[in-house]
Structure 1
Amino acid sequence: MSSRFYSQTFANISPEKRDNVFTAAISAFAEKGYDAANINEIARLAGISIGSMYSYFDSKEDLFLAMVEKGLKLLNRAMLDCHPDEGTIIEVLERVIRVTVRYTEEHPDMCRLYLLISTDNMKSQTERLSEEAEIDFLDMYKRILKSALQRGEIRSDIDIDTAAFFIDNIVIMLQFSLTSRYYQHRMENYLGEEASADREHLVRKTLDFICRGLGIHPES
C-alpha cells in the first residue's frame, strides 16, 4: 500500500497498527470535524506516541487526507460489485444504488469525512486530493450511459456528461442523507420519517427517479 499522504514507515508497520491509526483518526475527524480533531488525542487512541504519528504523517492535514483517500478507495472497490458492463441500465443503476447504501451503512464515518471535504472551508485540502477517485466514478457513469444509449435503452437526446453529473450527485446526496443528521432531517421533512427509514423504499424511489429522467421505467 502507498499514498503521497503518509510515509513508507507507516506503510511498513503491521496491518493491525495501521488499522488502529485509521480507526482512531476516522472516528475523531468524523465526530469532531477537521479543526477540532486533535492529533495528540488521535495518537493516544491509536496507542502510539506523537513522535511515531509524525513519522507516519507530516501534518494533521496529511493524516486527514489519507483517511479521505482511504474512504474513496474503499468505495471504488465496493463499486466493482456493481458490474457496470453487465445487464440492462436499470439493473446496473439498481446495483449502484444498493452498493452505495450498503457502503454507507458499513462505513458511515467515511461518508462523514467525504461530506467534510465538500465544504468551502476545506478548499485547500480538496485541492491536494487526487482527482483519480472522482474520475473513476465519472468514467463508470459515462460508460453505463453510453452503453445504454447504444442499446437504445435511454432517450436518444440525453447529454451523457450532464446525465452522469446529476446521477452522481443524486447518489452522493443519498449517502449524505443516510449519515449526516442535518441531511437526515431534511430527508424526513420531504419524505416523512417512515419512508426515510425504509431502505428498500429509498432504493426503489431513487432508481425510479433516475430512470424516469433517462426516459425509461424501472418496470419496463
Structure 2
Amino acid sequence: MVRIDERSREMVPETKDRILEAALAVFGEKGYHNATMAEIAEAAAVGKGTLYWYFPSKEKLFSGMIDHGLGLLERNLMAIITDRTLSFPSLFKRIVGYYLEFAYTHRHLARIFLNSMHSLDGNGEIQDQFLQLHNRFNKLNSELIQRGRQEGFLRPDLELERVETVLAGLLSGFIGRCILIEGDHQLAEETDFMYDCFLNGLGAR
C-alpha cells in the first residue's frame, strides 16, 4: 500500500494538498477503477469524513488531482513557450526537457495522463477533462512548431498536424521510458537526441 508521511493534522495545515498527493500515489498505482476512497484516506492519514468533506466523490477527487498536478506542468510550459528571448533550438530543448523531467519526477501522474483516454471508459466528465488537457498541450506543441517554422528550422511545406503527430510520438515514447525504466535517466542526452531526431531524422547521409 502506498502511504505518505503520517504526521499529525495540526502539523500539516495543507490537508487538501496532502489528500491530492495521496490520491496521485494511489490512483497511479492502482488506476482509477481499482482505487478506493478508503485507501486514499489511509494514505493521506485522514479520516474518510475529512476526505469526503474536501471531495464528495471519487470522480471529484480524481478531477481535482489532475488539475493539481497537470496544472503545474501546463503553467511551467507556458512560461517557457512565451519567452521570446529563446531561439528555437533552446526553446525546443527547454520544452522537451521539462516534459521529461516532469515525467521522471511525477511518474504516477505521467502514467495516468498517458493512459487516460483509453482507461476511463464510462466516465464522460473526466474523459472530457482529459480531452481538454490533451488539446491544450497539443496547442502548446503547435506553438513550438510554429516558432520553428518562423525561424527557418522547419520546412514550411510540411502539414502542421503531421508534424504535431511526430512530436507527440517522440514525447510519448520518451515519457514512457521515464515511467517504465527504473534508475537514472540521462535527460539532457535524451533531449538532445530528440532534438536531433526531430530536426535531422535517423537516416544516414
Aligned to 2:3: none
**Which of 195, 199, 204 pairs up with 1:211?**
199
Alpha-carbon distance in 2 for matches of 1:152, 1:20:
46
Query: Is it true that 1:101 corresponds to 2:100 in the alignment?
Result: yes
Q: 2:28 touches 2:109 (CA, 8 Å); kept in 1?
A: yes
Q: Determine the C-alpha separation between the residues in 2 that align with 1:163 and 1:123.
A: 29
Give the 5 Å matches for 1:23-102: 23-84=21-82, 85-102=84-101
Contact between 2:16 and 2:54, CA under 8 Å: does it hold in 1? no
2: CA distance between counterparts of 1:171 and 1:23? 25
Q: Does 1:116 align with 2:104?
A: no
Contact 2:114 2:172 in 1 (8 A): no
Paired AA for residue 83 in structure 1: I
Q: Per-residue CA shift, 1:10-64, capped at 9, x if unaligned? A: xxxx861012101211111112222222211211222322123223223212212
Structure 1 counterpart of 2:112, one-letter code = L
The alpha-carbon distance between structure 1 residues 160 and 176, as it changes in their structure 2 partners (threshold 3 A), is same
Task: Measure, in 2, the Cα distance between the counterparts of 1:65 and 1:198.
Answer: 32
Greater shift in the superposed pair: 98-107 or 138-147: 138-147
5+ residue gaps, structure 2, are: 1-11
Contact 1:81 1:99 in 2 (8 A): no
Cα offset, 1:160, TM superposition: 1.5
Letter in 2 for 1:207: Y
String of CA shifts for 1:108-160, please: whole Å, max 9, x gaps.
22112213313x23133442315443333222222222233233321121112
* Structure 1 counterpart of 2:15, one-letter code: K
CA separation of 1:32 and 1:147: change in aligned 2, threshold 3 A: closer
Match of 1:124, SS? Answer: coil
> How far does the alpha carbon of each residue in 1:198-219 deviate from its partner, in whole angstroms, 9 at most, with x for none?
3333122111111125xxxxxx
Aligned structure 1 segments of 4 or more residues deviating by more than 3 angstroms: 83-86
Q: Is the 1:86–1:92 Cα contact (8 Å) retained in structure 2?
A: no
RMSD: 2.6
Q: Give, as a single letter, the amino acid of the residue that structure 2 aligns with 1:42.
A: I
TM-score (norm 2): 0.78
How far apart, in 2, do the equivalents of 1:112 and 1:15 lie?
Answer: 29
